[in-house]
Amino acid sequence: MSHAWKIALLVALVLLFGMVVSLAWSAPQQAGETKLPVFSAKDHKLIEEYYLHLVGALAPGSLDRSVFPLGVEQSLVAGSHVPMQLEKDLKPLPAKLESQLTANTGDYARYTLGRHVVLVHKTDLAITDIIKNVAVK
């Protein structure tokens, strides 16, 4: 085998090895993936029952049923962040309700945001889960 063929074969092997390594690095990693907290089925039920009872106790004209603009509503999904213009509207859940829900780690908190209940990461306000149209403004 000539010297040029040996070099071409060596270059092809190096490129093939590089391609295999880059594919392995870009593949989704299941083992090290951290699971974000979400509302449990029990939490969903407790939150919906709490606000349903609260709505039943209020006068019909006292409820604010307004919604956020369509673009903002569509951006409020798990995996996104609370929009900057709405950060001031985050209100902690009532203590009575919060005490009934499953415990959170110190990095996450539950808030009402308009008529929605969100579970967010405290430092960057990333939404990990959301229950839409249950809360009372």
Q: Looking at the domain assignment, is residue 98 inside a domain?
A: yes
Q: Looking at the domain assignment, is residue 122 inside a domain?
A: yes
For residue range 81-124, list pLDDT tens digits in order.
999 989 999 999 999 999 999 988 788 999 999 889 999 999 99
Rounded Cα–Cα distance for residues 116 and 1 (Å): 72
Q: What is the pLDDT of residue 131?
A: 93
Mapped onto helix, strand or coil, the DSSP state of residue 56 is helix
For residue range 9-40, list pLDDT tens digits in order.
888 888 888 777 777 776 565 555 567 889 99
Q: pTM surpassing 0.75?
A: no
Q: Looking at the domain assignment, is residue 103 inside a domain?
A: yes
Q: Looking at the domain assignment, is residue 95 inside a domain?
A: yes
* Domain housing 63: 41-131
Domain at 69, CATH number: 3.10.450.160
Helical spans, DSSP H, in 66-109: 70-75, 95-98
Number of separate domains in the chain: 1
Helical spans, DSSP H, in the chain: 3-26, 41-57, 70-75, 95-98
Q: Looking at the domain assignment, is residue 9 inside a domain?
A: no
Q: Looking at the domain assignment, is residue 22 inside a domain?
A: no
Q: Looking at the domain assignment, is residue 23 inside a domain?
A: no
Q: Looking at the domain assignment, is residue 15 inside a domain?
A: no
Mapped onto helix, strand or coil, the DSSP state of residue 91 is strand
Hey, what are 61's tokens?
Answer: 């004209």
